[in-house]
Structure formats: C-alpha cells, structure tokens
Structure 1
C-alpha cells in the first residue's frame, strides 16, 4: 500500500489530540500523521496506558486488544471514514497498527 495521504505529515501530539468541530470531522484531520505514527512512533515497548497518554482515549469502538482512532474522511470521496486500528498482545503491549477504511 502506498502511503498516499497517510504519509504526508510527521506525528504531532498536539495536532492529534486537538479538538475538532463536526465540520472538520469530515476532513482527513489526522490522516497525514497516520503512517508516521504507525511506522515510527508506536513501539512494542509501549503499554496500553502509554498509547492512551499519547493518543487519548480511543475514538471508535474498542476491545481489550484493539483500539480504534478516527482519522477522518481521507479517501477524497467524502463517504467513508478511515481509522487507525491499534492492536495489543496478551500482556497489553502494543503489537501492531493498521490504517483501515470503514
């Protein structure tokens, strides 16, 4: 998968956690940071609590082993939302992350 819109910006914690309006929700407000976050920031040494400290509470549905964070509507068609899915192992440590469209 090419990084496309997802690899256009370095991760910025303030930008990630900034409040957004409902109108901005339809934009790709976090998408540009997703690849850097997935590939360079999140690490297998991080516990769930550290991920929450960095990214905030999951913005989508979540389970014990998967958190979802809304990236916005990044496809350009304005129809489907993209999310960063963050996965944890049995010990509660970061395992991997995927960018997915819903």
Structure 2
C-alpha cells in the first residue's frame, strides 16, 4: 500500500507542476503555436512558391489558401533570401509580382490563411529603402 501512495503522490506532483507551467506560460505558448509555428518549417522552394496560389476552381483556391504552403517558407525567406540590401529586381525574380504595392515603398505577397484560427489572411511584406534595396521584411495579418 505505501508504494501505491508514493506513486500517487508523485503523479499528483508531476501533474500539478505541468498544470502550473501551462497556466504560467499559456500566453507565450499559444502565441508560439498560433502565430510563430505556422511561419517556419519549410525551405524556400521557387516552384512551390509560384504554384502555391494558382488554382482551377473556388474550392481549389480555398484549399490552397488553407494549406499555407507559402507561409511555412517565411522564416527561411526572411533569414536567407530577403536580407537587408537585396535589390528589388532580385526579389521580383525570386517571388514574382507582388499581390499589393503600398504607398510606403513596400510590397505584399499573399501567404494564405496560416496563423491563429485561419480566419485572417497572412501576408509577407517587403519594404525597400531609397536605393530600392530590401530594408525590412515581416509578416502581417489582414
């Protein structure tokens, strides 16, 4: 009987500790899972990027948007390919024409519905300096 009591005691301690950690780090954990995790995991693939949002029907478009093929390439793109100083012409050759051009010398590329509960579209924003070189890269939700 004492052995069962000791095991039960340790089970309660471990369970309580895990619950406490979840409570303490819930916000950080959920932020990572819902906002950061969808934007990492795949290396940039030019062919996959260019075909990710090409679709043949409305259902096909929704499926491709929800798959978020481009979103998982964001981290690799921002760290290896879209670093500060890269010329605009090289970005265009790499990613193609942007989805949207903003007034502040930035362009947006649609990534799909990647983060959170997949109810808002996600975009890659590339901003350029006065010399048409990459100055800043980030993702945002509509």
TM-score range, shorter-chain basis?
Answer: 0.7 to 0.9
Q: Which residue of 1 aligns with 2:113?
A: 73
The structure whose Rg is larger is 2
Q: TM-score, normalised by structure 2?
A: 0.64
- State how far apart, in whole Å, the 2-side matches of 1:54 and 1:95 are: 17
Q: Which residue of 1 aligns with 2:99?
A: 59
Q: What CA deviation, in whole Å up to 9, does each residue of 1:9-36 have, x standing for no partner? A: 1111111111522221243121000111
Q: TM-score, normalised by structure 1?
A: 0.87
Higher helix content, 1 or 2: 2
The 4+ residue runs of structure 1 with deviation greater than 6 A are none
- State how far apart, in whole Å, the 2-side matches of 1:52 and 1:11 are: 15
Q: Which has the higher contact order (CA 8 A, sep 6+)?
A: 1
Higher strand content, 1 or 2: 1
- 8 Å CA contact 2:39, 2:74 repeated in 1: yes
Q: How many residues align?
A: 102
Superposition RMSD in Å: 1.9
